[in-house]
A and B are shown apart, each in its own frame.
Chain A
Amino acid sequence: MSTVTIRYFASIREQLGRANERIELSSPTSAGDIWQQAAGGLLPSNTLVAINQIYASPQTLVHPGDELAFFPPVTGG
């Protein structure tokens, strides 16, 4: 599998106008670099990152086949 599924939530989903997309990925790339490719610009500083539904950092490498998510600070409970 050479694609990565990217998911966006809440205010980030609204700002980008899409909930998810797929991008081609041939080699491991950091989550922050994928944000630049897919959404454009630098990753906003308070954005949270998850890879395969586990918290990660913008520096964490994403591999082909992974599910990557970007979302704002959480407000449940």
Chain B
Amino acid sequence: MTVRVQQDVFDPWRELAAHETAQVERLAGQAGAAVVFVGRMRDFSHGTPVTAMRLEHYSGMTEAYLEKISIEACTRWELLDTLILHRFGSLQPDDPIVLVAAWSAHRDAAFAATRYLIDELKTRAPFWKQEQTPAGNRWVQPG
């Protein structure tokens, strides 16, 4: 179970490969299923271009909340491992914002856990997006 919130840009596929290598003893021969969600920044929103984004977070509470939902996922489903990686700070269009992954012996648990983690993250983890548009900055409203 890994949670990381960082300012630096990340490559989700390199992160996944590194995580699987680091967790090889836990996963090798066991993980029949790996489900991965990658969320990226769009360059449009509500019909207008978005040139950049700033992501604010509540340092400390954010990590604690992501750890809490990771533990919850591990109690609800038979998982071998989970990974949540999320950016904060300045983002450019197409930057990965979030990576969520779950490993399990069979696919149902990994699908359900990944869906749960990204949905809980989006509705409760203390992050706030501010979009920069040609008309000025605006806070994103929950959709």
- A residues contacting B by CB (< 8 A) are 7, 9-11, 48, 50, 53-55, 69, 71-77
Q: How far is the CA of A10 from the CA of B121 in the complex (A)?
A: 17
Contact pattern, B 132-143, Cβ under 8 Å of A = 1, otherwise 0? 000000011110
Q: How far is the CA of A55 from the CA of B61 in the complex (A)?
A: 9
Pairs across A and B, CB under 8 Å, 12 listed: A10-B128, A48-B126, A55-B124, A69-B58, A73-B142, A74-B123, A74-B142, A75-B127, A75-B140, A76-B57, A76-B125, A76-B129
Q: How far is the CA of A74 from the CA of B123 in the complex (A)?
A: 6
Q: How far is the CA of A18 from the CA of B58 in the complex (A)?
A: 15
* Most chain A beta carbons < 10 A, residue from B118, B126, B142: B126
CB of B96, distance to nearest CB on chain A (Å) = 11
If A9-B56, A11-B139 touch, whether A77 touches B61 (CB-CB below 8 Å) is no
Point out the residues of chain B lying under 8 angstroms from A48, CB to CB: 126
Point out the residues of chain B lying under 8 angstroms from A71, CB to CB: 58, 126, 128
Whether B112 is near chain A, meaning CB under 8 Å from some CB there, is no
Q: How far is the CA of A75 from the CA of B126 in the complex (A)?
A: 8
Beta-carbon contact of B97 and A77 below 8 Å: yes
- B residues contacting A by CB (< 8 A) are 39, 55-58, 60-61, 64, 86, 97-98, 118, 121-130, 139-142
Q: How far is the CA of A53 from the CA of B141 in the complex (A)?
A: 22
Q: Which residue of B lies closest to A53 (CB)?
A: B61
Beta-carbon contact of B126 and A77 below 8 Å: no
Q: How far is the CA of A69 from the CA of B65 in the complex (A)?
A: 14
Q: How far is the CA of A55 from the CA of B125 in the complex (A)?
A: 10
Contact of B128 (CB < 8 Å), options: A50, A54, A55, A74: A74
If A9-B56, A76-B55, A77-B121 touch, whether A53 touches B140 (CB-CB below 8 Å) is no
Point out the residues of chain B lying under 8 angstroms from A75, CB to CB: 122, 127-129, 139-142
Contact of A10 (CB < 8 Å), options: B118, B122, B139: B139
